Amino acid sequence: MINELPCVAFYWLLAATLLAFGQGDIDSAGGWVVFGLAVLTSVGLGVIAWRGWRAGPAVARAISEGLGAGWRNELERQLASRLRHRLPWLRIFFLPILFRRRDVERLRKLPYGDAGRWNLLDLYRPRSRPPSGPTLIYLPPG
């Protein structure tokens, strides 16, 4: 989860650290060591987030290679109009966990290999099922 939601992990770490300061738990040598680890963890979360943001061009190239350079033009007009060209920064920082969208269908735990529960994936697609609509395949960790 931390690799996928570094902002959420940072908020939890910040809340726990502020609570520790508020309760006076940092007043010992061990408390300062833990605080130092929290600072290092925050730096690590920043690196994870920075690497994730830098992955955008690579993902765009992979999509274009897989679907063709004009893949956006082949989508239905209504669906294409909803594609974002910029990252939603406010949502990323202040509401990173979204509730499930009603217009997206999720097919859970679809088998894709012979390793039983270790080869399951989730598939997300528009409920309207347009012929050229986007599909997200998510391979859960494990």
Could you tell me if 32 and 99 lie in one domain?
A: no
In a domain, 41, yes or no: yes
Span 70-108, pLDDT tens digits: 887 877 777 777 776 677 777 777 776 666 778 888 899
Position with higher pLDDT, 1 vs 90:
90
Could you tell me if 66 and 43 lie in one domain?
A: no
Span 118-132, pLDDT tens digits: 889 999 988 888 777
In a domain, 1, yes or no: no
The boundaries of the domain holding residue 81 are: 56-138
The total domain count for the chain is 2
Could you tell me if 31 and 44 lie in one domain?
A: yes
Q: What is the pLDDT of residue 39?
A: 95
Taking phi over 0 as left and psi of -120 to 50 as alpha, with beta for the rest, 26 belongs to alpha
Could you tell me if 35 and 102 lie in one domain?
A: no
Is residue 137 within 8 Å of 121, Cβ to Cβ?
Answer: yes
Could you tell me if 89 and 23 lie in one domain?
A: no
**Residue 142: pLDDT above 60?**
no
**d(C-alpha 31, C-alpha 49), whole Å:** 27
Beta bridge mates, 120: 111
On average, the pLDDT of the chain sits at 84
